[in-house]
Amino acid sequence: MLKVKNYQFWFCTGSQDLYGDECLAHVAEHSQKIVEELNASGNLPYEVVWKPTLINNERIRRTLNEANMDETCAGVITWMHTFSPAKSWILGLKEYQKPLLHFHTQFNRDIPYDTIDMDFMNENQSAHGDREYGHIFTRLHKERKVIMGYWADEDVQKRIGSWMRTAVGVVESSRLRVMRIADNMRNVAVTEGDKVEAQIQFGWEVDAYPVNEIAEAVKDVSAGDINALLDEYYDKYEILLEGRDEKEFREHLAVQAGIEIGFERFLEEKDYQAIVTHFGDLGALKQLPGLAIQRLMEKGYGFGGEGDWKTAAMVRLMKIMTQGMKDAKGTSFMEDYTYHLAPGKEGILQAHMLEVCPSIADGAISIREKPLSMGDREDPARLVFTAKEGPAVAASLIDLGHRFRLIINDVVCKKTEKPMPNLPVATAFWTPKPDLKTGAEAWILAGGAHHTAFSYDLTAEQLGDWAAAMGIEAVFIDGHTSIRQFINELRWNEAVYRG
Ligand code: MN
């Protein structure tokens, strides 16, 4: 399982010394209590670390630079308890480079009507201080997230938790490495892109290796290791022989076991967290990696078919952002295949040739071996299942030549009306928001791909915040989308993001 670091977030409270030491002692006490309770709430995926109150230019600058340098710090949460003159923040903020949450809250929930006096007003004035602080951010054109609400409310804490996941996606983006063992599919446009620009914009390193180098790593896997993994497959999954010879079935499956082990070793040795393959460029590999890639995705690796490195990187990022989530429903590479246009039941059947991540499976998973309609290799083994129901998000990162655009679509996953016994691949079925016609029209107008990175466990807000932190355009297709407005938005964005 690919793990990301146990990140922390620093909690920095702003104030000044206008009201004396007693007031500052209260500020520190209040912010410490907030940090303690946030950590105890169970609503945050990462730990919050309290930092001494920031009251002047020098301390602000030093603390924010320490946050830049600290490898376990994935971001800073700031809150102006009292008044913090924002000129003091200019140099520190200009030098700060990690995600920042402006948490607009206050220590007391209610106005203490019976006792409130001017001292209380001076001490508890984030409604005032946070506006001063927000102003300088806007003036500096710096990206930040603003969350407003009472710190002890569960919904507020959960929003902070979601933002933390986005922040980790931002910080980890610059460590993401994608291995290409095949080029993009010939003549296909949307899976292409500028890899240098992707490294500049996102930090991704996208490198090519000859497919036969990884095929060598597969060849080196011992029979003992393969047999042990085969036993795990037979134990874990339902085997659907469908008339095939039992021994031949196991031999075919052994090829995928060898690929799984060999690929994982090669990726680990070379330090890559995502991979692309291509059914037409398999070198000495006996089968298209099917079940093997499905299981690697489940372990946290990103994947894109037909050389699609942008989607592979997005799948990995979305796996990072959802890591360790309680009751997670899954994240996968996906492809739009075919429509159901029956009135009231409209939707898109999603699959890929083979490579759908079993983390999205609902119920039993079986192994089938069937010929591929493309390529020239052995019938590959694959995991077959149907996906869970419920709301989810599908995203497509495209290269428009002078910039990237992330297209984010809210979708609702459903069961198909009937099983599809002759379809030997894992599937999902969803209706895009706001409805199939509007959703598909908007997607096509935005230039979205047929490949997507898909997750039940992220929100459009999180993906949009990630895109904003990366400095790229994001467009949302959701319950509020109307085509006329969407076309205008694309036009306006053309002006905003002129490179
Ligand atoms: Mn494809």
Backbone angles phi, psi at 454, to 5 degrees: -125, 140
Query: Residue 498: what pLDDT?
Result: 79
398 alpha carbon to ligand 1 midpoint, in Å? 15
Residue 473: enclosing H or E segment and its boundaries? strand 473-477
**Tens of pLDDT, residues 263-280:** 999 999 999 999 999 999
Q: What is the pLDDT of residue 499?
A: 61
| Cα 211 to ligand 1 centroid, rounded to whole Å | 18
SS3 260: helix
CA of 203 from ligand 1 middle (Å) equals: 25
For residue 57, the CA-to-ligand 1 centroid distance in Å is 53
From the list 296, 290, 307, the residue with the least C-alpha distance to 379 is: 290
Specify the pLDDT at position 82.
87
Expressed in angstroms and rounded, the spacing between residue 451 Cα and the centre of ligand 1 is 6
CATH of 8-173, one of 3.40.80.10, 1.10.10.60, 1.10.3720.10, 3.40.50.10940: 3.40.50.10940
φ/ψ of 393, rounded to 5, equals -135, 140
Beta carbons of 472 and 204 less than 8 angstroms apart: no
Q: What are phi and psi of 458, to 5 degrees?
A: -120, 160
Query: Which amino acid, one-letter code, is at 77?
Result: I
Distance 95 CA to ligand 1 centre (A): 42
Q: What are the residue boundaries of the structural domains of the chain, listed by start?
A: 8-173, 177-498
Tell me if 145 sits within 8 A of 101, measured CB to CB. yes
pLDDT in tens for each of the 499 residues of the chain?
Answer: 788 899 999 999 999 888 888 889 999 999 999 999 999 999 999 999 999 999 999 999 999 999 999 999 999 999 999 888 899 999 999 999 999 999 999 999 999 999 999 989 988 889 999 999 999 999 999 999 999 999 999 999 999 999 999 999 999 999 999 999 999 999 999 999 999 999 999 999 999 999 999 999 999 999 999 999 999 999 999 999 999 999 999 999 999 999 999 999 999 999 999 999 999 999 999 999 999 999 999 999 999 999 999 999 999 999 999 999 999 999 999 999 999 999 999 999 999 989 999 999 999 999 999 988 777 788 999 999 999 999 999 999 999 999 999 999 999 999 999 999 999 999 999 999 999 999 999 999 999 999 999 999 999 999 999 999 999 999 999 999 999 999 999 999 999 997 6
Of 440, 453, 444, whose CA–CA distance to 348 is shortest?
A: 440
pLDDT of residue 218: 98
Distance 462 CA to ligand 1 centre (A): 25
- The pair phi, psi for residue 432, each rounded to 5°, is -70, 155
> What are the tokens at 324?
């360790």
- In a 10 Å sphere around its CB, with 0-12 CB exposed, 13-18 middle and 19+ buried, how is residue 198 labelled? buried
Phi-psi group of 240: left, alpha or beta (phi > 0 → left; psi -120 to 50 → alpha; rest → beta): beta
C-alpha 276 to ligand 1 mean position (Å): 11
In the structure encoding, which two tokens stand for residue 257, read together? 């076991």
- Cα 308 to averaged position of ligand 1 atoms, centre (Å): 8
Alpha carbon distance 411, 356 (integer Å): 17
Tokens standing for residue 440? 């598909």
Q: What's the 219 CA to ligand 1 centre distance in angstroms?
A: 26
CA of 355 relative to ligand 1 center, distance in Å: 9
pLDDT digits (tens, 9 = 90+) for 318-367: 999 999 999 999 999 999 999 999 999 999 999 998 999 999 999 999 99
Question: How remote is the CA of residue 138 from the centroid of ligand 1, in Å?
Answer: 41
**Each residue of 182-194: b (16+ CB within 10 Å) or e?**
bebbeeeebbbbe
Q: How far is CA 328 from CA 42, 170, 308, 319, 456, in A?
A: 16, 20, 25, 11, 8
In the reported structure, the alpha carbon of residue 374 is separated from the centroid of ligand 1 by a whole-number distance in angstroms of 12
Distance 85 CA to ligand 1 centre (A): 54
SS (H, E, C) 339-380: EECCCCCCEEEEECCCCCCHHHECCCCEEEECCCCCCCCCCC
What separation in Å is there between the alpha carbon of 191 and the centre of ligand 1?
Answer: 9
- Cβ atoms of 106 and 49 closer than 8 Å: no
The position carrying tokens 């292409």 is: 192
CA of 342 to the centre of ligand 1 (A): 25
Residue 353 alpha carbon to ligand 1 centre in Å: 7
Cβ distance 384 to 369 under 8 Å?
no
CA of 213 to the centre of ligand 1 (A): 23
- According to the model, what pLDDT value does residue 123 have? 87
3-state SS, one letter per residue, for 49-68: EECCCECCHHHHHHHHHHHH
Question: Quick count: other Cβ atoms within 10 Å of Cβ 284?
Answer: 11
- Determine whether 364 is exposed, middle or buried from the number of CB atoms within 10 Å of its CB (0-12, 13-18, 19+): exposed
Does residue 18 contact residue 85 with C-beta atoms inside 8 Å?
A: no
Q: Which amino acid is at 444?
A: I
Q: What is the chain's Cα-based Rg?
A: 25
- CA angle 22/25/27 to nearest 5° reads 115
- Whole-number Å distance, alpha carbon 336 to ligand 1 midpoint, is 9
Residue 317: closest CA among 144, 158, 458, 475: 458
Structure-block tokens of residue 480: 């509020």
Span from the CA of 181 to the centroid of ligand 1 (angstroms): 15
Compute, in angstroms, the gap from residue 21 CA to the centroid of ligand 1.
64
Distance 306 CA to ligand 1 centre (A): 6
Global pTM reads: 0.97
Distance CA 425, CA 395 (A): 21
Distances (CA, A) of 63 to 34, 104, 131: 19, 20, 21
CA of 50 to the centre of ligand 1 (A): 47
Is the distance from CB of 165 to CB of 469 less than 8 angstroms? no
Tell me the C-alpha distance between 125 and 261, whole Å.
58
375 and 282 in contact (C-beta within 8 Å)?
yes
Vertex 252 angle, CA 385 and 299, to 5°? 50
Strands 145-148 and 100-104: parallel
Rounded CA separation 6/19 (Å): 38
